[in-house]
Amino acid sequence: MELFRDWYALVGRNRQLALLLVLLAAGTTFVVLTAGILAPFYAALIIAYVMETAANRMQRLGMPRNGAVAIVFGVFLGVLFGVFALLPLLGSQLMQFITELPQFVSRAQGLLVQLPEKYPSVVSPEQVATIVDDVRTKLLSGGQNLAKYLGGTVVGLVTVLVYLIIIPVMIFFMLKDKERIVGWVESFMPAHHQLSAAVWRDVNRQLQNFVGGKVAQMVIVAIVSFIVFSAIDLDYAPLLAVIIGVAVMIPYIGAAAATVPVAAVALIQWGVSFEAGVAVGSYLVIHALDGNVLVPLLFSEAVKIHPVAIIVAILFFGGIFGVWGVFFGIPLAVVVKAVMTAWPKDPAAAA
C-alpha cells in the first residue's frame, strides 16, 4: 500500500502526468458513452485520418495542400461509389451462401459419421450426433439472424442514406479545415501539456505509417484473392475476396478466421476433393506471400510491437469493446505503448 501511496503522491505533484491520465480517462469515457450517438462523427474522423495520411505524403512530394485534399477526397468518392456498385452483387452472393448452409451441414455430417467407424476408441456415434445437431442449430440460427439483419427496415435504410450524406460532408471539412480544427482543440489545452503532445506525436507517427500500409495491404490482398479464386473457378470469389481483405485488418487471428469461409465454400462446391484442396492451398499461399513479402515491404517503418503483444491487445480490447475493439486493437496498443515510452522514469523530476 505504501508503494501505491508514494506513486500516487508523485503523480499527483506532476501536472503533466496528471493531465495525460485525465485526458486518457476522459477521452475513453466520452467515446464509450457517445459511441451510439456520435457514430457518424467517429466514422468520419477515422476515414478522414486515413485520407489525411495520403494527403500528407502528397504534400511531402511538393503538392499544395488544397490540391492534395481535392485528389484524396475525389478518390474517396470514387471508391464509395464503387463499393455501392458492388453491394448488390456481394449481397446476393451472401444470401445465396446462407441458403446453401444446410447443404454444407449435410456434407460435414457425412464426413463426421465416418469418424466412429475409423476411430471407435476416440469418437462415438452419440458424440457425432451431438456435434452435428449443435452445429446445425447454430449455423441455421446465425444465417437467419444475418438474413434478417441484412433485410433491414425502412428506418435503417433511411439512417444509412442520411449517413451517406453526413459522413462525406464531415470528412471534407475535417480535411479542408484541419489546421483550424486542431488549433481550436489546442486552445483548450493547459499550458503544461508537453508530455501529452509528445505522446500524441509518437502515436500519430506510428499510426500514419501503419494506416497507409494497412489500406494498401487490404486492397492488394483482396484483388489477388479475387483473381486467384476466379482463375480456379471457386464460387463466391468476390465475396470471399472482400472477406479476406477485411480479415487482413486483424493480424494473425483474421487470417486464421478467413480460412473457414474459403474451406466451407470449397467443400460445398467440390466436396472432399483435389479441387477443394487447391482452393484452400491457394489461400494459404496468398496468406504466406502476404506475411513474408507484402508485410515487410509495406510496414518496414510502421508499428514496432511484438506479435504476442498484438495478439494480447486484440483479445483484451476485443473483450472490452467487442468487434470494434478487435479492429482497433493495434491502434489502441500503439497508444498504450506511446504512453509507456513517454512515461518519465522519475515522475517527480519531470513535473
pTM over 0.75: no
Q: Does 134 reside within a domain?
A: no
More confident residue, 4 or 97: 97
Say what the pLDDT of residue 115 is.
66
Say what the pLDDT of residue 154 is.
45
Q: Does 72 reside within a domain?
A: no
CA–CA dist 292, 311 (Å, integer):
18
SS3 state of residue 191? coil
- Percent pLDDT > 90 in the chain is 6
User: Given pLDDT bands bounded at 50, 70 and 90, which one contains residue 326?
Assistant: confident
Q: Does residue 144 contact residue 53 with C-beta atoms inside 8 Å?
A: no
Q: Does 208 reside within a domain?
A: yes
Mean pLDDT value of segment 299-305: 60
Q: Is the pLDDT of residue 147 over 60?
A: no
Mean pLDDT value of segment 225-244: 90
Q: Number of structural domains, the chain?
A: 1
Q: Does 164 reside within a domain?
A: no
Q: Does 301 reside within a domain?
A: yes
Q: Does 98 reside within a domain?
A: no
Q: Does 110 reside within a domain?
A: no
Q: Does residue 305 contact residue 337 with C-beta atoms inside 8 Å?
A: yes
**Cell numbers that stand for 51 in this block:** 485520407
Tell me what the pLDDT averaged over the chain comes to.
Answer: 77
CA–CA dist 173, 109 (Å, integer):
55
304 dihedral zone (left: phi>0; alpha: psi -120 to 50; beta): beta
Q: Does 238 reside within a domain?
A: yes
Distance of CA 256 to the CA centre of its chain: 14
pLDDT in tens, 19-77: 777 788 888 888 888 877 888 888 888 888 888 888 888 888 888 988 888 999 998 88
* Structural domain range at position 252: 193-345
pLDDT in tens, 156-215: 556 666 778 888 899 999 988 888 888 888 777 777 777 777 778 777 877 777 777 788
